């Protein structure tokens, strides 16, 4: 089968939610560089939109937690470009909170952003993609929290676990016209990473990842190009791990640090091994 250039998206239209900064901006930029027309959304327009060379993404303000706004966003992308080939559900996140004291409103907002919004957006995208030549691709950006919960993330973990299950359910229902896949993203070095992990914390985090570094936004973006492109026409319902191999087990770290006498030491290039 001749697939031509598998990362050539010329003439194809892409919608990236939360695409004005961080991982979303990198995803938008990667699709622009590959020739796609891209629409990004956010609560407000940034000073500079994602771009590649002279090409820039288009912007539409939207609160994707609102089902009507989510549907209108998808319709706007299709109207602007004449079709919609790729939806990347990237918008998400949550501040840490104690599960014992988090308010019902907090839980509802976290679940709305990380699970319900992708569902509503996917429904709207499917209605368009299933009727157009070539169908379409939906990519949900998930988190390692769906597989390995962390303290302070109960609502977020539950929502992201739901997103993974949703991906698999939609992949069953909407194939072969629309493929639905999931990316499990690990810690990513973005502009907000320092506020999450603290000054110097990213170095400590890198020390427990087998690849010895946090992901860069482009690592996630390139995975999106693969899942949406010509190399993955049979990939559907997949969970693609972009987390550098996960994290070393706590028992290994405890033994390693006990032997070295230097917890939190700078990462080196030694491979991980069982104690």
Q: What is the CATH number of the domain that holds 63?
A: 3.40.50.720
Residue bearing tokens 């990473």: 193
Lay out the sheet containing 86-89: strands in order across.
Answer: 58-61, 37-42, 13-16, 86-89, 136-143, 178-185, 239-242
Instruction: Tally Cβ neighbours within 10 Å of residue 82.
Output: 10
- Note if the pTM is more than 0.85: yes
54 CB-near residues (< 8 Å, 6+ apart): none
Domain membership flag for residue 220? yes
Cβ atoms of 167 and 182 within 8 Å: the answer is: yes
User: Does some domain include residue 7?
Assistant: no
pLDDT number for residue 268: 41
User: Three-state DSSP class for 240?
Assistant: strand
Contact (Cβ atoms closer than 8 angstroms) between residue 6 and residue 235: no
In tens, the pLDDT along 186-241 reads 988 887 766 666 666 678 788 888 888 888 999 999 999 999 999 999 999 999 99
Q: What is the mean pLDDT of residues 259-271?
A: 46
CB 220 within 8 A of CB 27: yes
Task: At 162, list the tokens.
Answer: 């739901």
Residue 253: its pLDDT value, please? 65
Question: What interhelical angle do 154-174 and 117-129 show, nearest 10?
Answer: 20
Q: Work out the angle at residue 233's Cα, subtended by the Cα atoms of residues 132 and 215, and round it to the nearest 5 degrees.
A: 110
**Total number of domains constituting the chain:** 1
pLDDT reading at 55 higher than 70: yes
The mean pLDDT value for 127-138 works out to: 98
Q: Are 223 and 240 in contact (CB under 8 A)?
A: yes
- In this prediction, residue 265 carries a pLDDT of 43
Q: Which of 155, 216, 144 is nearest to 183 (CA)?
A: 144
Residue 142 placed within a domain? yes
Q: What is the sign of the dihedral through the CA atoms of 219, 225, 230 and 234?
A: positive
Listed in sequence order, the DSSP H helices in 151-192 are 154-174
What is the mean predicted confidence (pLDDT) over 179-184? 98
Average pLDDT estimate for 12-40 = 97
Q: Is residue 88 part of a domain?
A: yes
Task: Confirm if 128 and 175 have CB atoms less than 8 A apart.
Answer: no
Q: How many other CB atoms are there within 10 angstroms of residue 43's CB atom?
A: 11
275 has a pLDDT exceeding 50 = no
E strand map for 53-202? 55-56, 58-61, 86-89, 136-143, 178-185
User: Does the pLDDT value for residue 25 go beyond 90?
Assistant: yes
Tell me, yes or no, whether 1 lies in a domain. no
Average pLDDT over residues 69-74: 98
In a domain? residue 271 = no
Helix (H) or strand (E) holding 192: none
- Whether 264 is in a domain gets the answer no
Is 258 among the domain residues? Answer: no
The DSSP output letter for 216 is: P
Q: With a cut of 50, say whether residue 270 has pLDDT above it.
A: no
Range of the domain at 31: 13-198+213-248
Say what the pLDDT of residue 208 is: 83
Q: What is the reported pLDDT for 214?
A: 87
Indicate which residue of 156, 197, 226, 234 is catalytic. 156
Residue 6's pLDDT band, with cuts at 50, 70 and 90, is: confident
| Helix (H/G/I), strand (E/B), else coil: 233 | coil
Quick check: is 197 catalytic? no
């Amino acid at each position: 089968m001749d697939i031509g250039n598998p990362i050539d998206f010329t003439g194809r239209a892409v919608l990236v939610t939360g695409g004005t900064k961080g991982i979303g901006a990198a995803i938008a930029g990667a699709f622009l560089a590959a020739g796609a027309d891209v629409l990004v959304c956010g609560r407000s327009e940034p000073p500079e939109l994602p771009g590649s060379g002279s090409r820039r993404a288009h912007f539409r303000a939207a609160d994707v937690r609102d089902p009507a706004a989510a549907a209108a966003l998808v319709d706007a992308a299709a109207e602007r470009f004449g079709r919609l080939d790729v939806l990347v559900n990237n918008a998400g996140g949550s501040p840490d909170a104690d599960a014992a004291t988090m308010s019902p409103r907090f839980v509802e907002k976290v679940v709305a952003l990380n699970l319900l919004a992708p569902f509503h957006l996917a429904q709207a995208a499917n209605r368009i993609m299933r009727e157009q030549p070539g169908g379409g691709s939906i990519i949900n950006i998930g988190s390692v929290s769906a597989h390995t919960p962390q303290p302070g993330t109960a609502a977020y973990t539950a929502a992201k676990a739901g997103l993974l299950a949703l991906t698999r359910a939609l992949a069953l229902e909407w194939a072969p016209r629309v493929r639905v896949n999931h990316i499990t993203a690990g810690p990513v070095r973005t502009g907000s990473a320092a506020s999450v992990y603290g000054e110097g914390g990213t170095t400590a985090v890198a020390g427990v990842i087998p690849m010895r570094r946090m992901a860069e936004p482009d690592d996630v973006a390139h995975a999106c190009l693969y899942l949406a492109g010509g190399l993955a026409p049979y990939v559907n319902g997949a969970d693609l791990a972009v987390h550098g191999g996960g994290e070393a087990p706590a028992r290994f770290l405890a033994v390693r640090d006990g032997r070295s006498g230097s917890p939190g030491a700078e990462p080196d290039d030694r491979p991980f091994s069982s104690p």
